[in-house]
Structure 1
Amino acid sequence: MHTKLSWVYLVIAAAGLITAWIFNGLAVMNSEDYAGAWFGTAVDWVLSADLTIVAIAVVVFMITESRRIGMKRVWLYILLSGVTAMAFTFPLFMAMRERRLGELSSTAPALKN
């Protein structure tokens, strides 16, 4: 189960990375104003605040969950989200989390004996 779910998350991560590359590339080529786009109107503020709050919750989850299950270098996912997209790094983290949970569940019976 963990392996299948990790592949689902990897596909989502790939989609997040590809869309980030495409749309950020278009924005850069068109010299678009990121700050103006994020905070130009009241609707922009709502979406920006919503995504910012979700991103903060995701980072807190990534840190606490990685500590709980013994994942290393979670700071790399957080750093990568600043240069790629949270739509890439969070599903990537979830894929690696599923793999780690699979490792833990496969070794758990051996530890009990």
Structure 2
Amino acid sequence: MNTTPASARPTTGRGHLTLAVIWSVLALVGVTATWAFIVQFFADPQGLGYVEACFDNPASSSAAADVLVVAVAACLLFVVEGRRLGWSRWSWLLVPATFAIALAFTFPLFLALRELTLRRRPSARQA
């Protein structure tokens, strides 16, 4: 009987692949959902600029501030964790992509790529 808590056990190579697929699906859903609304907005902006519309009322201002703080934190994660994983050449590309495309796309994309990288590591293959 294994008494090690599940959270402390290493993820298997297969587990990394499963998570990578889930994160990839979420990235596709994220880019599709956000851009569906962005296209609608630019088709009929109702006199508001995009940033102005994000802060049009207290509810949208709360959501916009929430997303902006998480986006900055995610960008720091992309760069710091990217260096740890040996991605220092390209992980910084996720920073402008976060603001040009969508955090809902870049964050799960980063997590999918991270899982694939971890899957290739020898410690993942041993589990």
Q: Deviations over 1:61-90 (max 9, x none)?
A: 111111112124012222222221110111
Return the alpha-carbon distance in structure 2 between the equivalents of residues 82 and 52 of structure 1: 9
**2:78 is matched by which residue type in structure 1?**
M
Matching residue of 2:59: 43
Matched, 1:4 2:36: no
Task: Provide runs of 4+ in structure 1 moved above 6 Å.
Answer: none
Aligned length: 109
Matched, 1:24 2:41: no
Return the alpha-carbon distance in structure 1 between the equivalents of residues 118 and 44 of structure 2: 43
Query: Structure 1's 5 and 64: CA in aligned 2 closer, same or farther, altered over 3 A?
Result: same
Listed as ranges, the gaps of 5+ residues in structure 2 are 1-14
CA shift at 1:51, angstroms? 1.2
Relative to structure 2, which stretch is displaced further, 35-44 or 91-100? 35-44
Which structure carries more helix by proportion? Answer: 1
Return the alpha-carbon distance in structure 2 between the equivalents of residues 77 and 64 of structure 1: 12
Listed as ranges, the gaps of 5+ residues in structure 1 are none
Return the alpha-carbon distance in structure 2 between the equivalents of residues 3 and 58 of structure 1: 22
